[in-house]
Amino acid sequence: MFLLSKDLVFPPVNMADKNGLLAIGGDLSVERLLLAYKSGIFPWYNQGEPIVWYSPDPRMVLFPKKLKISKSMKQIIRKNQFRATFNQNFSEVIANCKNSYREGQGGTWITDEMEQAYINLHNLGVAKSVEVWEGNELVGGLYGIDLGYVFCGESMFSKVSNASKFAFIYLVQKLETAHYTLIDCQVYNAHLDSLGAEEISRSEFLTYLKK
């Protein structure tokens, strides 16, 4: 594991350990975060801990054309239970992701510092959100980093059943229309696996980032 200095540089990702842990320290400046995502690296740590950077191998991704929508979700979509908007209320989405209870986790990994860092990226047009509404209530959503060809998903939340799934489906279909290559889901997740996400090698993932 490497200790980062103030210099805007990361070690080669193939030096990460078996869990994907690559480096510690540095900061969450816009410049460092953009360099990280373009290099296949992301921050992941808890409140009160130093900043920790990961680049896992394998990498969980979803190719838009491989999206799987279950029969039950197709019925929900047809019923118009939800409506989705894009990048209209980023601060509320990340706040809900931060405050959502997650089984098996003692607390949130979206620290106060991280929340502000991604709001800064949003203000520059890099971090974007999907909002899901039931009537006039925000009931689900997600946010991530838009690299223009790859969308790096960060977190999602759901206040009612299937709202986060609806957000993800909406995002994938929107990105497919815009000819995005893939959505980075970072690490294996059974929920995303059911929607068509798959694991690929880190080296293959990096080739998509470089295209």
- Which domains does the chain possess? 2-57 (3.30.70.3550), 60-210 (3.40.630.70)
Does pTM surpass 0.85? yes
Q: What are the phi and psi torsion angles at 5 (to 5°)?
A: -105, -165
Q: How far apart are CA 186 and CA 41, in angstroms?
A: 9
pLDDT, tens digit (0-9, with 9 covering 90-100), for 95-152: 999 998 655 444 457 999 999 999 999 999 999 999 999 999 999 999 999 999 999 9
Percentage, residues of the chain above pLDDT 90: 92
Q: What is the DSSP letter of 24?
A: E
Q: Check residue 173 and give its pLDDT.
A: 98
13-45 pLDDT, tens digit per residue, is 999 999 999 999 999 999 999 999 999 999 999
Structure confidence by residue, pLDDT tens digits, 166-183:
999 999 999 999 999 999
Average pLDDT over residues 40-66: 96
